[in-house]
Amino acid sequence: MWLEKLHLTYFKSYEERVFTFGPQVNCIIGENGSGKTNLLDAIYFLSLTKSAFQSQDALSVQHQADFFLIDGVFQAQERATQITCSYQKGQRKLFMADKKNYDRLSDHIGAFPLVLIAPNDTDLIRDGSEERRRFFDGVLSQAAGDYLQDFLQYNKILQQRNALLKLFGERNYLDQDLLETYNEPMVLYAQRIFQHRKHFMDRFLPLFRKYYKYLSSGKELVDITYESEVASADFPTEFRKNASRDLHAHRTLKGVHKDEYVFEIDRVSLKKFGSQGQQKSYLIALKLAQFELLKQEKGLTPILLLDDIFDKLDDRRIQQLIELIDDGFLGQVFITDARPERSQKILDKVKAEVRFYEIVGTDLQANSL
């Protein structure tokens, strides 16, 4: 699967641009701030219905405009599909496949799988459990549509229950029967999500360990431990018993929204004891495991976006990524770099077709470097 064409209108730094890409390696070069990452974000948006870097769609609209449009043509299984995303400030975001609207945005997620490796990936290690849940939920949402629907329903009920708890707390009042109308479906979806995540880790962990061994020459033992209160057979009872604490806190304190994924290396915390090199290998192994799992589940080779990757990796890890390209494991790859001479030197060794593009301001043009 690969992205052949991309048309942007008022998306971030791009006023009006049409791009044509190659099916293998596309290297986007330009000075910092020229729009390289914005271009990758447009591709990400077209695949996953949202920005990789902005929490609100309105922040992706170019300054002084009131809408953006992203239009692309994907080639997959000998068929071209036109995907269009339009967003008008104050209105609902729309996605279309071959000019036909999706009833739900979630129906699009996973249709054109994608993996992004970016500088802010270190947040997975450095930040709290929410970042790790967000990563694994993102992988599962692309891999399994039934998981995504359960996850969306759970979060909808969670928001409603939290609003009710806040109202009860402000009024110093509790209607147990009304609360139970939220408790029952929330427990049900929590247990379903837990089973999804548990079975997912059974498949993901061997892939992750394989890639860490590949990147680190097998020097350390790595592990990811999935921890959840929902694993207990007594969870439904404990969840209901916790109502008084929930009422005091004005929010739900138990559930899969509190799950944790513990990153370990040689049985100790990666965050506390892992070296910078070990953490880099760990992060790339996570993303490569995501790539292979999506490839297995979807029957399509995901698009791989590498943002500023040459600045973050040493020569050995860069060479290992190049080997994956040459082995044919990776499909279409987009790479951004601020130093064209470095990109050319590294990618000269690649057997696959490499196309260089240079961004000057927001102008993207093929470059015959």
In the predicted structure, residue 311 carries a pLDDT above the cut 90:
no
179 and 134, same structural domain? yes
Determine phi and psi for 33, rounding to 5 degrees: 90, 0
Please identify, among 279, 298, 317, the residue that sits at the C-terminal boundary of a domain. 298
Domain identity same for 185 and 308: no
CATH classification at residue 191: 1.20.1050.90
- Output the six-digit token pair for 1: 């699967």
Residue 118 belongs to some domain of the structure: no
**How far apart (Å, rounded) are the C-alpha atoms in residues 66 and 353?**
38
Compute the average pLDDT of residues 300-316: 89
pLDDT at 172: 86
For the stretch 343-361, pLDDT in tens is 999 898 888 899 999 988 6
Pair of tokens at residue 47: 């695949």
Higher local confidence (pLDDT), 271 or 310? 271
Residues 159 and 194 in one domain: yes
- Is the pLDDT reported for residue 80 higher than 60? yes
Domain count, the chain: 2
Out of 259, 279, 298, pick the residue that ends a domain: 298
Q: What is the mean pLDDT of residues 44-55?
A: 95
What does the pLDDT look like over 122-146, one tens digit per residue? 999 999 999 999 999 999 999 998 9
Render 70-122 in DSSP notation, one character per residue.
EEEEEEETTEEEEEEEEEETTS--EEEETTEE-SSGGGTTTSS-EEEE-GGGG
Strands 79-88 and 25-29: unpaired
Calculate the alpha carbon distances from 243 to 160, 204, 292, 322 in Å.
Answer: 15, 35, 42, 54
Calculate the average pLDDT of the chain: 93
- Indicate whether 280 and 142 sit together in one domain: yes
Residues 131 and 234 in one domain: yes
Residue 102 covered by a domain: yes
pLDDT in tens, 317-331: 888 888 888 888 899
**367 falls in which pLDDT band (50, 70, 90)?**
very low
What the block records as the tokens of 281 is 């290998």
CA 269/CA 53 separation, integer angstroms: 27
Residue 214 included in any domain: yes
pLDDT tens-digit map of 7-28: 999 999 999 999 999 999 999 9
Read off the CATH number of the domain in which 56 is found: 3.40.50.300
The verdict on 7 and 61 lying in the same domain is yes
In angstroms, the CA 40 to CA 178 distance is: 46
Burial 127-161 (b: 16+ CB within 10 A, else e): eeeebbbebbbbbbbbbbeebbbbbebbeebbeeb
Token look-up 């609003």 returns: 163
Residue 178 lies in a domain: yes
Same structural domain for residues 32 and 79? yes
Three-class DSSP category at 32: coil
> Do 132 and 256 fall into the same domain?
yes
What one-character DSSP code corresponds to residue 61?
B
| pTM for the full predicted model | 0.92
Domain presence at residue 321: yes
Q: Are 88 and 82 spatial neighbours (Cβ–Cβ below 8 Å)?
A: no
Judgement on whether residues 246 and 327 belong to the same structural domain of the protein = no
7 in Cβ contact with 71 (< 8 Å) = yes
109 contacts 148 by C-beta, under 8 angstroms? yes
| Cα within 13 Å of Cα(24), Cβ side | 15
Residues 258, 318 within the same domain: no
Residue span of the structural domain in which 141 resides:
124-298
Q: Which of 248, 278, 298 is the last residue of a domain?
A: 298
Averaged pLDDT, 20-39: 93
Single-letter code of the amino acid located at 268:
V
Instruction: Give mean pLDDT, residues 68-74.
Output: 97
Note the pLDDT of residue 363. 54
Q: Is 179 a domain residue?
A: yes
pLDDT by residue (tens digit) across 146-187? 999 999 999 999 999 999 999 998 888 889 999 999 999 999
Do residues 294 and 312 share a domain?
no
Q: Is residue 201 part of a domain?
A: yes
Residues of the chain above pLDDT 90, percent: 79
User: Does some domain include residue 119?
Assistant: no
Q: Is 90 exposed, middle or buried (0-12, 13-18, 19+ CB in 10 A)?
A: exposed
* Co-location of 227 and 161 in the same domain: yes
